[in-house]
Structure 1
């Protein structure tokens, strides 16, 4: 087996707008694409894994680690999926294959990740309970979908490991998954990257420092339904109203020595002042970005 036979995808149960901010925090170059209704897929641009077989009783003897201590693809992808899911409200599925085995890892919040593995010839090498947990955490059909998932844990001489992953994806299509053309199990990383790169809606995710990550996070918040109340005319009006209400309330509390009224007035003053300062800060940052100057 060679490293060129290794490939992986990260399926996120969220739209690209929601996936973009946490994806930046992985500090890896990725291609982000829509992957169906309410789904996105991340395609690694690099290959930060080694191409040797996995450890385990059914795996071939392990070769020395690649320079830099690179790990097998399943560990790399499982770590990325967990990192994404911990900071999000949506689950992440890492699909991976390396020529000797194929499998998936599902991460959701702070719960323990679950996964399943098939050997190259399609022989199941995981625990049946993982499939039921997989279905439950993704809110799949407890009868139809679970039956099809459990079938993947039984021997099938006509289905190899890549076919098993394709059958898994077929179940996920009922949950809205629709991978873009060219992104299929068994394809090497270079082909996956090429196929993703020509997609008309592709976005490149690249780490550019903490300031860039914070900027992306702020943009994501402002693009939601809360946006008008965070920045813009509504936000300024709300902040001004908080300041206007906070000043007399604070004075009233100070004169009457009412700790509750004083605290309420100070809270309104601080919130209003921060709202006005944030709106001005973001406006100046945008002007600086358009003019090519510093944005912070």
Structure 2
């Protein structure tokens, strides 16, 4: 009889334990779902922001600690959105305001070329007009980069590699010669009539050549190499690159302390906008390489465009 009572008591205790564990598991799962749901929602909003949706906002969850994190997230996102909006508005307004005086200057130079027969002034006016055209294209590129990523980008005009090198040589040869330095351009086993995006590539090469003129030394070389599915534009001089390679393309980083730290950052953004990449491939002698996807097939003419 005593044994039966002990077994019955143990059976009752075991039943109570099973019921208690079942209730505890059910309550724990419910609480876990209640805690995990707002965290999963916050994670979804963070992923949406990472994908470019700056309008995503986390909803309240009635859990004080998680709501505090959500409010901080929303405040940070609002501040970031306002900062990006102000920067884009500034770039767009500055570019728009520059258009009118640039157009007027171009018209005045064209009128001067049409009316002035002075042989000494015509080359100066021609060079000034070409410079204003390049400045106008630069303003257009800055305006395009300031637009939202989801807006369609205008197609850039393609240009043959030989023509691009010829224009680059004509523009930069005099500037380097005035400093007592040489500029050498050419192709290395690359067809000269393959098409590349003219505006962005010209702007990137302009930034690299200007950096070589201001910060580099000795002879500057621009060489185009064929990589089958891409073209490599190598710009090198006889100096050495200063600063950490990983920071050279950060906006505001000036390396040796000279300049504004904007040129290489803008050049890198322009390269990415056409599906290319800009990188420092050698520190000494300083060599920057622009990789550009091939836009069209060319002939097998491998003659250099300029020397």
Larger radius of gyration: 2
TM-score under structure 2 length normalisation: 0.20
TM-score by length of 1: 0.20
Considering Cα pairs closer than 8 Å and 6+ residues apart, tell me whether 1 or 2 has the greater RCO. 1
Structure with greater helix percent? 2
